[in-house]
Amino acid sequence: MRKMLTPHVRAIGRPAGPAQDDAVDPASVEGTAGKLKSDLIQLIGQDQVRHRISDLVRYASDASPYRYLPQVVVVPRTVDDVRAILGYCARTGRHATFRAGGTSLNGQSQSDDILIDVRRHWTGMAVEDGGEKLRARPGTILGHLANPSLWNGLLGSVFLACALVALARYRHELSPGVLVWTAGVGVLTVWSVMSLTNARMLLIAFPAVIVWARRFGGRPRIAFLAVETALFLLASALTLAGLMLP
């Protein structure tokens, strides 16, 4: 009997027709053709043209199931570079495809001709109209857009630093399992690719809160718990206001 959620690999069929070789065409192993490579290098510079076969294969796939091997990949730095590339395409009848922030699930960011990658030199954003609008450059990804005010990361980072100090000071009062679990929560919140250091998660996750509360007595304990509650409510309010990630 198979375990629950175990894939049934025998039920996975193969497309009809003969098997297709996924290897690169031998004619392409030298990378970008000489004239195309030299033309683009002359236009925008050698450092901005990816022409080796390893570069082309790396750009042949995105998050979709499709695979297209570009003839060349260019990484423009300025508007003039983009204008020069598009002008070259118009003169020579070539096709250009942009790859911007993120990837595609349906192959829209792939090309079998000229692929223009604007993710490296086209990042940045500006909040306008008092937070009503956000103007983003094409290389900006969702993780950057989601938290322009940085309040979430600021609150979370401050509390993370204080909590680690408390844990180091009172580590003998905590079990190894609690220390490992706490460290894991800290690592996840700091290294998450989709959010900054999450304040609310850190406020409720760290056993250091309990350690601090026990070390205090009387009015200091009440004051500590009041501040802790206020910070948690502030973080929650900022989340609901859309200023930081949940």
Name all domains of the chain by residue range, CATH numbers in brackets: 30-141 (3.30.43.10), 149-240 (no CATH)
3-state helix vs strand vs coil in the chain, percent to 5: 50, 10, 40
Residue 184's alpha-carbon distances to 73, 140, 158, in angstroms, are: 39, 29, 17
CB neighbours (10 Å) of residue 113?
A: 15
* Three-class DSSP category at 179: helix
pLDDT in tens, 142-156: 666 555 445 555 666
Beta strands in 125-237 (DSSP E): 125-128, 133-136
pLDDT in tens, 54-80: 999 988 887 777 888 999 999 999 999
For residue 90, the model assigns a pLDDT of 95
For residue 156, the model assigns a pLDDT of 63
- Across 103-112, 114-123, 170-179, 200-209, the highest mean pLDDT is recorded for 114-123
**What is the C-alpha separation between 51 and 10, in angstroms, rounded?**
40
Per-residue pLDDT, averaged over 105-122, amounts to 85
For residue 245, the model assigns a pLDDT of 40
For residue 211, the model assigns a pLDDT of 64
Contact (CB, 8 A) for 239 and 245: yes
Per the prediction, the chain carries an average pLDDT of 76
pTM of the predicted model over 0.75 = no
Please report the sign of the dihedral spanned by the C-alpha atoms of residue 56, residue 58, residue 63, residue 65: positive
Cα-based torsion angle of the residue sequence 109, 113, 118, 121 in order, rounded to the nearest 10 degrees: 150
Residue the block writes with tokens 């109209």: 129
